[in-house]
Amino acid sequence: MDHLGSRPGNVAGGCLPGLSPTPCRSLTLDRVMTLLYQDPIFLEHDTGSHPECAQRLRAVSDHLAATGLDQRCGCPAWEPVTSKWLAEVHRPEYTAQLERFARDGGGRIEVDTVMSARSYEVACRAAGAVCDAVQRVVGGEDRTALCLVRPPGHHARSGAAMGFCLLNNIALAARVATTELEVQRVLIVDWDVHHGNGTQETFWSDPQVGFFSIHRWPFYPGTGDRTETGEGPGLGTTCNLPVAFGTPRREYLDLFTGELERFADRIRPQLVLVSAGFDSHCRDPIGSLGLEVEDFAQLTDVTRRIAEQHAAGRLVSVLEGGYDPAVLAECVATHLERLLA
């Protein structure tokens, strides 16, 4: 627990200085808020003309400022993830490779994934945000948190970058919860349009972390069949819901709700984490499962209800995909509104 220089109540003056015109509220307010993690450093993972680009977060930040939603949130200060915690998920030789690749100026580290000179630093800060959010939410500082970070994380494997992802932010946070914070059971809900293969792999035989994913199928990255349910002590703690392109929204939402309730009853989580990708929106240029903005309100409500029922409301949400900046901004605002409701 020596990771954070910041302690509860230690807050930054604002979320995105230079981008957000007014600072977020401090954590001293006595009403329920959501902890909101934003930082201009996330714009410095420079990917050029890649769809996973800084404009995504600029659009989100501007929209949250325009709607005033950011004013209703607390904005904690936090530190980058430590190498000790990185080693809970990633091989040290892999993180050393990432660091070196960035130091040498970056480039394409795998077929889909681009790094710039500052990408490793940015990725460590993103993972640090999610770990900090889990610490604060488990510590009772607030019940919910939303981490608007990039690069995304759920495809990142123990020893390899993949699918725009460098470090697996949500897997690191789940491991911090079970190893450092004595949380016995964590549930990860992944509603990104792509299967979270890196997260699944990390917890494949781990009985303490349940992984629930709804995703388009067949689709990138090719994993996430119904038959993939974990193994050894982790058998039954992975649940995959592959959904075909063209599935009606009502059917998708009913499937998500029914299966998540059933799975959560089995896992009985003390903490719920969300891999919140918004690339299943009908106008997303990469994903699309035909969802509309309001469907993310329902996904959020169902997941919050699960968190309230099992985990005293403790929920930390982490941005994954979503590649039309304007659509992403609307979806994130809707998601945050429901977290604040």
Residue numbers of the site for Zn ion (CB under 5 A)? 192-194, 277, 279, 321
Residue (228 or 279) nearer to Zn ion, CB: 279
- Cβ–Cβ < 8 Å for 200, 228: yes
CA nearest neighbour of 15 among 28, 7, 27: 27
Residue closest to Zn ion (Cβ): 321
> How far apart are alpha carbons 313 and 269 in whole angstroms?
11
Q: Give the SS3 label for residue 298.
A: helix
Residue 287: phi and psi, rounded to 5, are -100, -100
Report, in Å, the least distance between residue 190 CB and Zn ion.
9
Residue 35: phi and psi, rounded to 5, are -80, 125
Report, in Å, the least distance between residue 154 CB and Zn ion.
8
Report, in Å, the least distance between residue 338 CB and Zn ion.
20
> CB 7: neighbour CB atoms within 10 A?
12
Residue (206 or 279) nearer to Zn ion, CB: 279
- Is position 335 annotated as part of the catalytic site? no
Residue (234 or 277) nearer to Zn ion, CB: 277
Catalytic residue among 45, 90, 155, 195: 155
> How far apart are alpha carbons 178 and 207 in whole angstroms?
11
Report, in Å, the least distance between residue 240 CB and Zn ion.
15
List of residues 6+ apart from 143 with CB closer than 8 A: 32, 137, 312, 313, 314, 315
> How far apart are alpha carbons 253 and 14 in whole angstroms?
36
> How far apart are alpha carbons 335 and 294 in whole angstroms?
9
Residue (137 or 193) nearer to Zn ion, CB: 193
Residue (224 or 277) nearer to Zn ion, CB: 277
Report, in Å, the least distance between residue 163 CB and Zn ion.
7
> How far apart are alpha carbons 302 and 332 in whole angstroms?
16
- Which residue numbers are catalytic? 155
